[in-house]
Amino acid sequence: MKKRLLFICTCLFVVLIFCTAAQAAPKVMVDYRTVTFDVDPVIENGTTLVPLRAIFEMMGANVTWDANTATATAKKDDTTVILPIGSLTATINEQPCQLAVPAKIIDNRTLAPLRFVGEAFGAEVIWNNENQSIEITTLKSDDIPDAAKKPETWEKVIGTEGKYDATCIRQTRDGNYIITGSKDKDIYLVELDLTGEIQWEKTYGGDQADYGACVQETLDGGYIITGQTCSNGAGYGDVFLIKTDANGNKQWEKTFGRSGDDFGSYVQQTADGGYMIVGTLEPGGAGTLFRELWLIKTDNDGNCEWDKSFGDNRLFRGWSGLQTNDGGYILAGDTSDDYMWGIYVVKVDDKGNKEWNAFYTGPDMDSVSEIKQTNDGGYALVGYNTDGSHVSGFDLNMIKIDETGKLKWQRSYEGSRTDDYTMGQSLVQLADDSYILVGEEESMASSSLSDQAVLFKVNKNGDLQWSRAFSNEFDQGFKCVQLTYDGGLIIAGNRSPHGDYKTGSIYIVKTDIDGKINTNTK
Q: For 230-258, what is each residue's pLDDT tens digit?
A: 998 877 899 999 999 999 999 999 999 98
Let me know: does 439 contact 425? Beta carbons within 8 Å.
yes
- Residue 190's pLDDT band, with cuts at 50, 70 and 90, is very high
Between 373 and 150, the more confident residue is 373
pLDDT at 5 (0 to 100): 38
Higher pLDDT, 297 or 18: 297
* Better-predicted residue by pLDDT, 374 or 3: 374
Per-chain mean pLDDT for the chain: 85
Of the pLDDT bands very low, low, confident and very high (cuts 50, 70, 90), residue 193 is very high
CA-to-CA distance for 21 and 118, rounded, in angstroms? 15
Whether 4 has a pLDDT exceeding 50, the answer reads: no
Q: Which fold has domain 22-143?
A: Copper Amine Oxidase; Chain A, domain 1 (3.30.457)
Q: Quick one: which of 356, 367, 344, 350 has its CA closest to 421?
A: 367
Q: Put residue 393 in one of left, alpha, beta given phi > 0 → left and psi -120 to 50 → alpha.
A: left
As a whole-number percent, the residues of the chain with pLDDT over 70 amount to 86
Residue 39 confidence (pLDDT): 81
Q: What is the pLDDT of residue 159?
A: 94
Residue 32 is predicted with a pLDDT of 65
pLDDT at 145 over 70: no
pLDDT-derived band of residue 392, with 50, 70 and 90 as boundaries? low
48 touches 114 (CB < 8 A): yes
Mean pLDDT across the stretch 497-518? Answer: 89
Q: Which of 31-35, 390-394, 408-412, 418-422 has the lowest mean pLDDT?
A: 390-394
User: What is the per-residue pLDDT across 258-271, written as a single tens digit (0 to 9) for each?
Assistant: 888 999 999 999 88
More confident residue, 155 or 152: 155
CB 430 within 8 A of CB 513: yes
Q: Given this model, what pLDDT does residue 507 score?
A: 96
pLDDT tier, 227 (very low <50, low <70, confident <90, very high otherwise): very high
| Spatial CA neighbour of 82 closest among 59, 61, 58, 108 | 61
Amino acid 200: pLDDT: 97
Provide CB contacts within 8 A for 213, sequence distance 6+: 167, 168, 180, 226, 227, 228, 263, 264, 265, 266
Res. 17: pLDDT tops 60: no
Q: How confident is the model at residue 131 (pLDDT cuts 50, 70, 90)?
A: low
Q: Mean pLDDT lowest for which of 2-6, 195-199, 514-518?
A: 2-6
Does residue 419 register a pLDDT over 70? no
Lowest mean pLDDT among 79-88, 285-294, 430-439: 285-294
CA gyration radius, the chain:
24
Higher pLDDT, 311 or 132: 311
Residue 412 near residue 382 (C-beta atoms within 8 A): no
Predicted confidence band of residue 339 (pLDDT cuts 50, 70, 90): low
User: Is 519's pLDDT higher than 60?
Assistant: no
Q: Quote the CA–CA distance of 450 and 425 in Å, as a whole number.
A: 18
Q: What is the mean pLDDT of residues 12-38?
A: 57
Residue 470: name the closest of 446, 488, 490, 450 by CA: 450
Q: What is the DSSP string of 45-69?
A: TTEEEEEHHHHHHHTT-EEEEETTT
| Structure confidence at residue 2 (pLDDT) | 41
**What CA–CA distance (Å, rounded) separates 308 from 467?**
39
* Cross-sheet strand order for the sheet of 379-386: 365-373, 379-386, 395-401, 407-413
| pLDDT score for 474 | 87
pLDDT at 483 (0 to 100): 93
Least confident interval from 148-152, 227-231, 306-310: 148-152
CA distance 147 to 175: 8
Residues 6+ apart with CB under 8 A from 23: 43
Q: What is the CATH number of domain 205-361?
A: 2.130.10.10
* CB-CB contact of 469 with 454 (8 Å): yes
Find out whether 218 and 268 touch, Cβ atoms under 8 Å: no
Q: What is the pLDDT of residue 352?
A: 95
Confidence of residue 381 (pLDDT cuts 50, 70, 90): very high
Specify whether the CB–CB gap between 259 and 275 falls below 8 A.
no
Per-residue confidence (pLDDT) for residue 440, from 0 to 100? 92
Out of 177-186, 360-369, 385-394, least confident range: 385-394
Averaged pLDDT, 490-512: 91
Confidence of residue 22 (pLDDT cuts 50, 70, 90): very low
The pLDDT value recorded for residue 383 is: 92
Q: Where in the chain are the domains?
A: 22-143, 154-162+172-178+379-522, 205-361
Indicate the pLDDT class of residue 57, thresholds 50, 70 and 90.
confident
Under a CB-based contact definition with an 8 Å cutoff, are residues 187 and 240 in contact? yes
Predicted pLDDT at 185: 93
> Alpha carbon 339 to chain centroid distance?
31
Question: Is the pLDDT higher at 392 or at 257?
Answer: 257
15 phi/psi in degrees, rounded to 5: -60, -45
Return the ∠ at Cα 457 (arms to 455 and 459), rounded to 5°. 160
Residue count of the chain: 522
Q: 488 near 512, Cβ under 8 Å?
A: yes
What is the model's pLDDT at position 289? 75
CA distance 374 to 381: 10
